[in-house]
Amino acid sequence: MRLRVEFTTEPFDLDEAPAHALAAREVIEAAELDAVDVGPFGNTAEGGADAVLTAVESLLRKSLEAGATRISLQVNVIGAGE
């Protein structure tokens, strides 16, 4: 099964990326995922279910440790037609 995760971390800082956003980015970029897209207002990544779920757990832990006060995420199963 393949999954797509979309996430944001808060609080936002438009002047420079906060530590929690950098922590999330490091987790996603280091994970064995593909189709990674990191942006200032939202991030997405796709991969096998185990890789995505492992990355999500690490992302939550490391972002919260780095000062995130809110993490919004959505996980979708990617069908053959998408």
Q: What are the pLDDT digits (tens) for 21-74?
A: 999 999 999 999 988 988 777 899 999 999 999 999 999 999 999 999 999 999
Of 81 and 39, which is predicted with more confidence?
39
pLDDT at 37 (0 to 100) = 87
**d(C-alpha 78, C-alpha 10), whole Å:** 26
pLDDT at 49 (0 to 100) = 95
Range list of H helices, 1-82 = 19-30, 49-65
Helix axes 49-65, 19-30, angle to 10 degrees: 160
**d(C-alpha 22, C-alpha 37), whole Å:** 14
* DSSP type of residue 16: S
**d(C-alpha 2, C-alpha 7), whole Å:** 17
pLDDT at 34 (0 to 100) = 87
Total length of the chain: 82
pLDDT at 51 (0 to 100) = 96
